Amino acid sequence: MSRTQHAALWHASGSLAGAVIVGVVVLGTGLVASRPDLACLAVPLLVWAAWSWQGRPRGEAQTECVIETAHRVTGESPCLTAALRVSSDELAEFVHARTLVGGTHRRNAVLDGRSEAPLSAVVPARHSGPCEVLALRYRLVSADGAFITDPTPQQEAERIIRPQIVPLPQLLLPQRLHGLTGTHGSTRPGDGGSFRDIALFAPGDRLRRIDWKATARLARRPGDLYVRRSFATSDATAVIVMDTGDELGEVVAEWTRGRVDKTGLTSMDAAREAAAAIAVAYTQSGDQVALQNLALGSRQVRRGSGDRHRERLLATIAATRPHGVGMTHRRAPLVAAGALVFVLSTFFDGEAATLAAMWSAVGHRVLAVDTLPPGNRAGLTPEQATAHTIVMMEREDRLRDMEAAGVRIVRWADAAGLPSRNAQFSALARERAR
Amino acid sequence: MTKSKPSIRIAHGIPSATVHIGVGAVAVLLSMATVTVPFWLIVALALAVAAAAAPRLHMAWALMVLLAFAQLSHPPLLTDWRPYVLMAGLHLLHVLASMSLAVPLRGRIALSVLGRTLRRYLVIQLPAQGLLIIVLALLTPAGVHAVWLAPVGAAALVACAATLVLPIVRDRE
């Protein structure tokens, strides 16, 4: 809910002066010309002027504006709604509100100032993340428009829409697991994992690990005891690195215009969806997840696990918005040792690709998630089409360089003629198993 | 995802262009009804269009003066409908023109706003119509002009101006 209070100064709109001038001229002419019928025509105007002057507002108008937003998911068309209430002193008879609905559509509304001026806005929920629902400036108007205030400063109400949680096809694991507890089988001896081998009892082995059948079969000397050893279970650490430098939609012609209602699904939508899927999948399996934002240049959420950490991650991911091209990193941001690094980017500039290669070079398993949606080139001029082709070729080169540096690439949005997301994750899961 | 457009809704709203169309309609009808000279009729229609299209030019009030002066070409008769229509029309034109200064051309307006304006209009208009009937009945029998009205009216005008101006001067001080 957004609530603001304003003070606005009243001033005459010009109609009061018009009524007085016309009234006096007509009255004077009627009297000079000895035409009482003409003089009478001025009476309503002069009475109106006197009435308006008598009830004129003095000083500043105090007004309060409340915008309540909600996210409705009914049927197949989720939408955002906003309810606006403007309350002010009694002299304001109506309110002229200039609104910007959904960040794209300008709409005017004249509301009743004496009944808390209810106005409702409905905006289709096209994207995840922070969505502008309603922005407005308004001015108060006295009876019949005789007095008017200056427009108030702009007030905005936005709503954060959480991305849809899609299941991750496969849980990929890093090169190295850590710890002696967790849900993933480790290559180190320990407890909880599958059978490893049978060995002679050594100091430190627990008595309950003694395998009496194996001892009876294998013991050569009195006192020989054999124990069953198992693999340990371990945790994985996943680091989600989001590149929020740009937001590119399906419609290429809108890349420079950025009209949110015409872009189609954007790279930020895909990035939020991918990050949420990764965060949910890994935290649900008990692993540790951290979140970094490249454009902000800071670690947003420290690594952790559990339900509360998952909620923290989802809230942060949902609130992520494009920040423009941010800082340039001289060295890769620190991530936990042996972590699996997911780099979510469109790879339109070299920053994310360079960092991914750096992380790969120091031994991390790095997965580059390409968040660029399939492009629709309709409406491009020949020059724009050429420029798009060149930019895409540069991007392809960048992806190829990354792959050569050991970074694996997954295209998040499914596209015709390319392996599906599930197939790509399955292939990567087999890669580690080998 | 849905393809519907963002929209706003206000309770019992009508297009706000109604006010601007109202200004144009009242101005054109009054001009056609009262202005008989072709040249001035063209001028009046031009002013009517300007008043409806660009309220900030304040052409509606220039048109009101012209329409009022057009009454001079008609004899003041109790049975003539023109003075009554002109009084109602000028007042309505003024109220609509005043509102059009604050109401946008494109948008929606709550109907209750117009309801209160209409109530105020009737409160002023009905006694004024009564006054016009009385004045026409008493002062213009058989079309005779009230010559003595000039000095009496001049005094009344001074009193009226003083009533309107003095509070303004007092406020500024």
- Enumerate the domain spans of chain A: 10-54, 61-161, 187-234, 237-433
Q: Nearest by CB to A40, which of B1, B60, B135?
A: B135
Please indicate whether residue B142 or residue A276 has the higher confidence score (pLDDT): A276
Spatial neighbors of A103 by CB under 8 A, at least 6 apart, are: A131, A132, A135, A260
Complex confidence, ipTM: 0.83
- pLDDT higher than threshold 50 for residue A17: yes
- Our CA-based measurement puts residue A275 at a distance from the nearest CA of chain B, in whole angstroms, of 20
Sign of the Cα pseudo-torsion (B137, B138, B142, B148, in order):
negative
**In angstroms, rounded to a whole number, what is the distance separating the alpha carbons of residues A397 and B83?**
84
Q: Indicate the pairing of strand A60-72 with strand A105-112.
A: unpaired
Task: Tell me whether residues A145 and B99 touch, CB distance under 8 A.
Answer: yes
Q: What pLDDT score was predicted for residue A322?
A: 85
Is A45 part of the contact surface with chain B (CB cutoff 8 Å)?
yes
Q: What pLDDT score was predicted for residue A157?
A: 86
CA nearest A113 in B: which residue?
B113
Q: Do the Cβ atoms of A115 and A82 come closer than 8 Å? A: no
- The rounded Cα A382 to chain-centroid distance in angstroms is 33
- The rounded Cα B97 to chain-centroid distance in angstroms is 8
Spatial neighbors of A96 by CB under 8 A, at least 6 apart, are: A108, A109, A110, A138, A139, A141, B102, B103, B104
Please indicate whether residue B137 or residue A318 has the higher confidence score (pLDDT): A318
Q: Do the Cβ atoms of A399 and A409 come closer than 8 Å? A: yes
Mean pLDDT of A190-219: 86
- What three-state secondary structure class fits A253? helix
Q: Nearest by CB to A102, which of B6, B68, B132?
A: B6
**In angstroms, rounded to a whole number, what is the distance separating the alpha carbons of residues A127 and A26?**
61
Number of Cβ within 10 Å of residue A285's Cβ equals 16
Q: What is the pLDDT of residues A55-80, one digit of tens each?
A: 888 778 888 888 888 888 766 678 88
Closest CA to A300 of A329, A320, A278: A320
| pLDDT band with cut points at 50, 70 and 90 for residue B157 | low
Give the pTM. 0.74
Sign of the Cα pseudo-torsion (A346, A350, A353, A356, in order):
negative
**In angstroms, rounded to a whole number, what is the distance separating the alpha carbons of residues B34 and B11?**
38
Q: Do the Cβ atoms of A289 and A240 come closer than 8 Å? A: yes
What stretches of B66-145 adopt beta strand conformation (E)?
108-110
| pLDDT band with cut points at 50, 70 and 90 for residue A432 | low
- pLDDT higher than threshold 70 for residue B34: yes
Mean of the per-residue pLDDT values of chain A:
85
Q: Do the Cβ atoms of B18 and B109 come closer than 8 Å? A: yes
**In angstroms, rounded to a whole number, what is the distance separating the alpha carbons of residues A206 and A271?**
48
Q: Do the Cβ atoms of B16 and B103 come closer than 8 Å? A: yes
A237-433 topology per CATH: Rossmann fold (3.40.50)
Q: Could you give phi then psi for residue A331, rounded to 5 degrees? A: -135, 155
Q: What pLDDT score was predicted for residue A93?
A: 84
- The rounded Cα A153 to chain-centroid distance in angstroms is 26
Q: Residue A257 to residues A248, A252, A346, B142: CA-CA distances in angstroms?
A: 10, 10, 18, 74
Spatial neighbors of B26 by CB under 8 A, at least 6 apart, are: B89, B92, B93, B96
Give helix then strand counts, H and E, for chain A.
Answer: 8, 17
Q: How far apart are the first and last CA of chain A?
A: 53
Spatial neighbors of A430 by CB under 8 A, at least 6 apart, are: none
The pair of three-digit structure tokens given for residue A378, joined into one six-digit string: 């309709």
For chain A, positions 82-141, list CB contacts with chain B under 8 A. 93-94, 96, 98-99, 101-102, 104-105, 107-112, 114-115, 117-126, 139, 141
Q: What is the pLDDT of residues A393-414, one digit of tens each?
A: 999 999 999 999 888 988 888 8
Closest CA to A270 of A401, A166, A399: A166
Is B79 part of the contact surface with chain A (CB cutoff 8 Å)?
no
For chain B, positions 90-119, list CB contacts with chain A under 8 A. 90-91, 94-95, 97-104, 106-110, 112-113, 116-117
A61-161 topology per CATH: Immunoglobulin-like (2.60.40)
**What stretch of H or E contains A285?**
none
- pLDDT higher than threshold 60 for residue B145: no
- Our CA-based measurement puts residue B131 at a distance from the nearest CA of chain A, in whole angstroms, of 8
Spatial neighbors of A92 by CB under 8 A, at least 6 apart, are: A61, A63, A113, A114, A140, A141, A142, A149
- Our CA-based measurement puts residue A79 at a distance from the nearest CA of chain B, in whole angstroms, of 8
Place of tokens 């008595």: A207
Buried b (16+ CB within 10 A) or exposed e, A307-328: eebbebbbebbbebebbeeeee
Domain boundaries, chain B: 13-144
**In angstroms, rounded to a whole number, what is the distance separating the alpha carbons of residues A33 and A104?**
58
User: A41, A119, A142, A159: which to substitute to probe chain B, counting the most B Cβ within 10 Å?
Assistant: A41
Q: Residue A51 to residues A137, B61, B68: CA-CA distances in angstroms?
A: 29, 18, 22
Amino acid (one-letter) located at A42? A
Mean pLDDT of A114-127: 79
- Give CA torsion, residues A370, A376, A381, A382, to 10 deg: 70
- pLDDT higher than threshold 70 for residue A247: yes
Q: What is the pLDDT of residues A335-382, one digit of tens each?
A: 888 888 999 998 888 888 888 998 898 888 899 999 998 888 888 889
| pLDDT band with cut points at 50, 70 and 90 for residue A434 | very low
